[in-house]
Structure 1
Amino acid sequence: MFRRPSMTFRTTAFVVVVCVTLLAIDFWNSWHSRTVQLRQMNVAASNLARAMAQQANDTLKAADSALFGIVERVEHDGTSPAAVERLREVLATRVEEFPQLDGLHVYDQDGNWVANSRRTPPQNLNNANREYFIFHRTHEDRGPHIGVPVKSRTSGELLVPVSRRINHADGRFAGVALATIDIDFFMKFYDSLDIGEAGAVALILDNGTMMTRRPYSPEMVGRDMRETELFRAYTAQGSAGMAYLTSAQDGVTRLNNFRRLESYPLFVTAALSKDEILAEWWRETLWHSTGVLLLALAVGFVGWRLVHQFQLQIRTEAELRQARDALETLNKTLNTLAMEDGLTGLANRRQFDVALDNEFGRAMRNASTLALIMMNVDCFKQYNDIYGHAAGDECLQTIARTIAKVAGHRPGDLTARYGGEELAVLLPNTDVAGAVVLAERIRSAVRDLKIVHAGTEDGFVTLSAGVDAQKPVPGAAQPKELIRAADKALYAAKAGGRNRVCSTALPGPS
């Protein structure tokens, strides 16, 4: 029911499987390498965010620690001229101890400067309108407050304010202690980080206010980030997380890893460009994928050539089989033509001689009898003279068909045209009596054809037959003796008046 696939199909399928497997393995390896690369860079970005968060937390804690001591001193010692002078010295000392601090300041309840860390205090400046001052005036919370970035009214630098509320003894608002950190302090640290050409890092308040960012731009400081994908991802994932985001600032897609500061309401984000992360992977993938593709093409080409050779071989074999079959058919045809009489369709003289030798030898081996009937159409030359050779040929063909019909019942019997109008029937395993009976039937059948022949006494075509049978003895008899004996009996039939059967054993007519 199921035919076995051809060699061409199996070879083609094998080549296709090999090529597809090579490409599939290369694709899987490339994709796995990409996944590993992204995972490693995610770990690197996470470590970067952790370091940034720790740096920002330590910086703010140092400023807050200084503020805590200042608030306690002011609330205890008051703001008398002597106390303010001592306070100014303390503020200056603290700024020298902490390089991240730009300055330390104390304001009274109306926003006027009470003391600061600078050697020359500013005159007639009031900070009551600053965000951090308004916050402490309206909130009783004593904890640190990280305000929105401000521009210094003395130096013009962008600063990060860290402040605490100062109270009177009865709890009323008494002023603000302020520590300012130059944004450049954070930028120097961020500039030391290896984030690539298109990477970005940022420090952002929990309320969405941008504190600073690398790449740095003054316009970015203080920008509201609440509507960005980054801020939404941060609020959705909690204190730490990661996401692939397209920046609202420059449109670059980055791997963002963000982390909230441990003690303060800010978070940092370390973002590495996805294109830069995968740049090396793309180069390697291009090289080895090109190599694998060329290898697959080479395998495919060799396979195609191999399949082509198979097809050529199969086509050649098919043509050879066709040529062999045609040659066998031709040989059979030639053999048939060589063994068959062209006019009557009976065996020719050559086939008769071969069959006689074979049957004679078989009769000798089997100690059986071989009979032969030799026949001749009576007055056939006159028939040709009277009716023409075409009619003679037709007459001979009709007689041949009749003899073949009467004598052709046994597979071993052979009816042949011996020559001219002379015909023969070879009968293995037949004695003289049996051969005579068959010869008489043939003679009678021919006479019953009633083929008109004006050259005979009877007026119709007849034939005469001579019959002989022998039981060959090794070394004593030859096939030609059987022919001579049957031919002799034929002449006896002719001499006896024609239209009769004679045999050597029964010399008289049948």
Structure 2
Amino acid sequence: MPSSSEPGQLPKAGAPRSSTAQSLRRSQAALPRLYEELLHPAFLTITLVLLLSAAVLAFVLRASFVRTLDAGAERASTLSRLLQEQTAGSIQSIDLVLQSMVDAVSTFRIPEHDAEFQRLLDKRLRVLPHVRALYVIGADGFITHDTDHPATPRVTLADRDYFRFHRSYSADALHISEPLISRSTQRWFVSVSRRIGRSDGGFGGIAVAALEPAFFDRLFSELSLSENDAINFLHADGTLIARSPTGQEFVGQNFATSRLFTELLPQERSGSYSVVSEADGVERIVSYRRVAGYPLVVTVALSRSDLLANWKTVAIATTTGFLLLTALVLLVTLRTIRNRREQRLAHERALTTQKLEMLGQMTGGIAHDFNNVVAVALAGLTMIRKHLDNPSRAGPLLDETEKAVHRGADIAARLLTFARHRELVVQPGDLNAQIRSLEPMLKQAAGSSVSLELELAEDVPECLLDNVQFDAALLNLVINARDAMPQGGSITICTRSHPTTDKPQQSSTSFACVQVRDTGSGMTPEDMQRAFEPLFSTKGEKGTGLGLSQVQFFMHQIGGQARLSSELGKGTTVELLFPCVS
């Protein structure tokens, strides 16, 4: 035989076993049981209910998500309408002041930088918080009246687009320019201006209000928007006039090629859309409006993430709570299924014990009666032997009869052992020697159509045995294997210093294994579960259902264990685990 150190061999008796390997084998053994619990109807029902609940929760959260975004879009629309109205009102106020300036300059001959007229302009400026300065530009392009006087430098403004517009266009129209850099303050501003006509119809200059983007920062603060929200004021040609609260570096840039100016405004004067801002990369819901009567566009952009912040908090809390509740329900369901399964198994074990007790009592009574008959027969044979006239002729017959009676007494002893009326004679024994001594009887029991082979390991330690019960158990297993192979086959009896499967749980004892393996028809999983039950047999009327139950009972008595594995059409293997002598 190969040594235990060769590949594929089991370790020697007493060798330490890897705790990792034990854990792995226990996990593998628990997988079928867990799979069975997961397929339990109660667990599947609970799982289906939880899945439906999850679908409902997902639907509710989705609907809440859509409502939150719709509410954000509605809020942006309301704010943009408010800004549009406020902007239109502000421009109208500026226009009234500009018209009064035009009327004053056209009607009266006011000297350049007249102190009285400047005080009037300062008074008008105070009621226009969104305007930085009011001034009048003469027909030659130089400022003649200015609320900043005398700080304003004397420079010509004849090259400004808004000046050239009024000089070349004689109609009395309000003009709003693109963002410009002030030559006096070096800050951005938007000019709102009107033409001043002379009595002869000629060009007399223009009245101007300098509107600064800082005004829009004040509007933003009044609207209580978040730091990721933004309001934008754009010229109708796409030039950005102002952006709050951040992005002043983009003022003056032209966005005429953006979706707002190429697709949306040509179709609708107001609306909403989603966009990732080019300024800061934030995704926003944008509501836009064209200011009626003026070349201005206002937009309110609300951060999508800020709008969804409360929804995300509620969604995360709800989802987390649902998942925890789901896990708890599933764990409780699995635990309940497991408890009921254990209760059912305990009940089945109790019924098996009751059957064994009843069978033991019945067997004990029969064995006692049979033993009495055997005793009488032996006494009769003894008396007959004493009164024989010719012992040489009748002696052999009497010897055979006496042997048969002794075998009957042995059977009665085994029945009494099964009925717990006979104490086991447990002593150290050699498994291999016991099997070899029984080999002729085992081959005879297997029959001529079945081959019986022994694979006995050399390093099997001594085990605790009752020789009589061991012989009976092994004979039972061989007979069962033979009956499972009516067309012939093979039976292999193996011994190992360690079992091929895990030793009994919570046991520190070393075990040796006797394995009886056949190539018969095998058993169904249902039959395997009942194989050790008393009175259960797969042989129909030919079987008594006592063989395997007697084997299991014997193994439990000596502190060992009987195990069964089988596959339909491929044979059956029975393992007997015997405690080794320490």
Same-fold call, TM cutoff 0.5: yes
From 297, 304, 311, the counterpart of 1:274: 304
Residues of 2 paired with 1:180 and 1:34: CA distance?
A: 44
Q: Within 5 Å, which residues of 2 pair with 1:146-225?
A: 146-168=176-198, 173-225=203-255
Give 1:122 shift. 4.3
Residues of 1 paired with 2:139 and 2:314: CA distance?
A: 65
What amino acid does structure 1 have at the position aligned with 2:58? F
Does residue 295 (structure 1) correspond to residue 321 (structure 2)? The answer is: no
Indicate if the aligned counterparts of 1:8 and 1:307 stay in contact, CA closer than 8 A.
no
| CA deviations over 1:227-271 (Å, ceiling 9, x no partner) | 345545642662221222111001011122222223312121111
Does residue 42 (structure 1) correspond to residue 73 (structure 2)? The answer is: yes
Q: Within 5 Å, which residues of 2 pair with 1:72-471?
A: 72-74=103-105, 76-77=106-107, 80-81=109-110, 85=114, 90-120=120-150, 122=152, 124-168=154-198, 173-232=203-262, 234-235=264-265, 238-312=268-342
Give 1:106 shift. 2.5
Indicate if the aligned counterparts of 1:53 and 1:261 stay in contact, CA closer than 8 A.
yes
Residues of 2 paired with 1:45 and 1:121: CA distance?
A: 42
Indicate if the aligned counterparts of 1:244 and 1:256 stay in contact, CA closer than 8 A.
yes
Residues of 1 paired with 2:344 and 2:195: CA distance?
A: 98
Structure 1 residues 318, 207: closer, same or farther in 2, change over 3 A? farther
Indicate if the aligned counterparts of 1:166 and 1:173 stay in contact, CA closer than 8 A.
yes
Does residue 25 (structure 1) correspond to residue 56 (structure 2)? The answer is: yes
What amino acid does structure 2 have at the position aligned with 1:24? A
Residues of 2 paired with 1:390 and 1:131: CA distance?
A: 143
Indicate if the aligned counterparts of 2:98 and 2:208 stay in contact, CA closer than 8 A.
yes
1:508 match: none
Give 1:161 shift. 0.7
| CA deviations over 1:293-337 (Å, ceiling 9, x no partner) | 111100011111223344445666777899999999999999999
For structure 2, which runs of at least 5 residues remain unmatched after alignment?
1-36, 369-389, 402-582
| CA deviations over 1:405-426 (Å, ceiling 9, x no partner) | xxxxxxxxxxxxxxxxxxxxxx
Structure 1 residues 7, 266: closer, same or farther in 2, change over 3 A? closer
> Looking at CA atoms only, which structure, 1 or 2, has the larger radius of gyration?
1
Residue 223 of structure 2: SS of its match in structure 1?
A: coil
Residue 308 of structure 2: SS of its match in structure 1?
A: helix
Deviates more, 1:299-308 or 1:289-298: 299-308
**What is the Cα-based RMSD across aligned positions, in Å?**
4.5
Residue 25 of structure 1: SS of its match in structure 2?
A: helix
Structure 1 residues 298, 137: closer, same or farther in 2, change over 3 A? same
Residues of 2 paired with 1:263 and 1:35: CA distance?
A: 35
Indicate if the aligned counterparts of 1:22 and 1:296 stay in contact, CA closer than 8 A.
no
Residue 265 of structure 2: SS of its match in structure 1?
A: helix
Give 1:200 shift. 1.2
Residues of 1 paired with 2:266 and 2:357: CA distance?
A: 88
Indicate if the aligned counterparts of 2:136 and 2:208 stay in contact, CA closer than 8 A.
yes
Indicate if the aligned counterparts of 1:161 and 1:178 stay in contact, CA closer than 8 A.
yes
Residue 42 of structure 2: SS of its match in structure 1?
A: helix
Indicate if the aligned counterparts of 2:113 and 2:149 stay in contact, CA closer than 8 A.
no
For structure 1, which runs of at least 5 residues remain unmatched after alignment?
1-5, 339-381, 393-510
Residues of 2 paired with 1:233 and 1:202: CA distance?
A: 18
Indicate if the aligned counterparts of 2:133 and 2:210 stay in contact, CA closer than 8 A.
yes
Structure 1 residues 330, 102: closer, same or farther in 2, change over 3 A? same
TM-score by length of 2: 0.51
What amino acid does structure 1 have at the position aligned with 2:90? T
Give 1:217 shift. 4.5
Residues of 1 paired with 2:146 and 2:38: CA distance?
A: 95
Structure 1 residues 132, 324: closer, same or farther in 2, change over 3 A? farther
Structure 1 residues 83, 196: closer, same or farther in 2, change over 3 A? closer
TM-score by length of 1: 0.57
Number of residue pairs matched by the alignment: 358
Structure 1 residues 387, 132: closer, same or farther in 2, change over 3 A? same
Structure 1 residues 322, 226: closer, same or farther in 2, change over 3 A? farther
